[in-house]
Amino acid sequence: MILSVSRRTDIPNYYSEWFFNRVKEGFVYVRNPMNAHQVSKIDITPEVVDCIVFWTKNPEPMLNRLDELSSYDYYFQFTLTGYGKDIECNVPHKKDRMIPVFQELSQKIGMKKVIWRYDPIIFTKKYMPEYHLKAFEQIATALKGYTEKCVISFVDIYAKNKKNMELIDSYEVDKNELLEFAKKIADIANKNGMAIGSCAESVDLDECGIEHNCCIDKTLIEDIIGCKLRVEKDKNQREECGCMESVEIGTYNTCKNGCKYCYANYSEDSVIKNCSKYDPKSPILCGWLDENDKITERKVKSLKEQQLSIFDLL
């Protein structure tokens, strides 16, 4: 299986100690977000985990413990944007802290395994297209030689972030302006030696040099692990999403980054309440099991192809 760590919260930043404890014990409990008393027990031993995909805005707490993952293959989706604390409230300073962390991580694990995400792109009176182009170029220049790929997306409006988007006066640009902007972004990425893809975008940006991207990418994972995978598209994601199926171990309403565009938190109060339950020794993130929980062992297995095809021998 492919392990997602995590679309729902920033585990590398805030809960890495919990995650490393789960790795040591070889399993994790995950609550069903639609039915809190339904709990899955998931085997996360190297025998069944083909690759781990980390999603984060700050993997610094993991940097000195990566040797504890020596039995696993993995890569990082590292979000690094030009927003200030008015949008990404608790993310450390980009130039002083996050760019050096990105560079250090790349040096430790290799540039192929660190994907730069400049997303989501939001247009406001402050963060106009010209601002984004300048910020993108500054970051891309700093990351040249530290990553092979950049992923962009444009903000999606959900019930959970609609009010915040209204408060910052976000606006949409017309299609022609969007395509012109995307072409300039692609040119900057290419100039700095990076391929560029879009994340779950319905708009076709191929003519701009931006391909539809798979964040949980079968081709990349097969390259990293040196083996073919028998894996299908994730049916639980939006139609525009090209990701492969994975097992998610995060918990909603636990991310403390405070990003205004976040879709994974209902409210600041819910985050504070859940984070108060954090115990790095608990088998479940930000909580404990109780007598009303029904635990079911989820059937997971390696997705590696066990037999070579004739084409692999040619």
Range of the domain at 167: 2-313
CB burial of 72-97 (b: ≥16 within 10 Å; e: otherwise) equals bbbbbbbbbbbbeeebbeebeebeee
Phi/psi for 52 (5° steps) reads -105, 130
Mean pLDDT of the chain, nearest integer: 92
Domain count, the chain: 1
pLDDT digits (tens, 9 = 90+) for 26-53: 999 999 999 989 999 999 999 999 999 9
Q: Are 201 and 212 in contact (CB under 8 A)?
A: yes
Q: Are 74 and 31 in contact (CB under 8 A)?
A: no
According to the model, what pLDDT value does residue 310 have?
46
pLDDT digits (tens, 9 = 90+) for 260-313: 998 889 889 999 999 999 999 999 999 999 999 999 999 999 999 875 554 454
pLDDT digits (tens, 9 = 90+) for 116-162: 999 999 999 999 999 999 999 999 999 999 999 999 999 876 666 77
Q: What's the pTM value of the predicted model, to 2 decimals?
A: 0.93
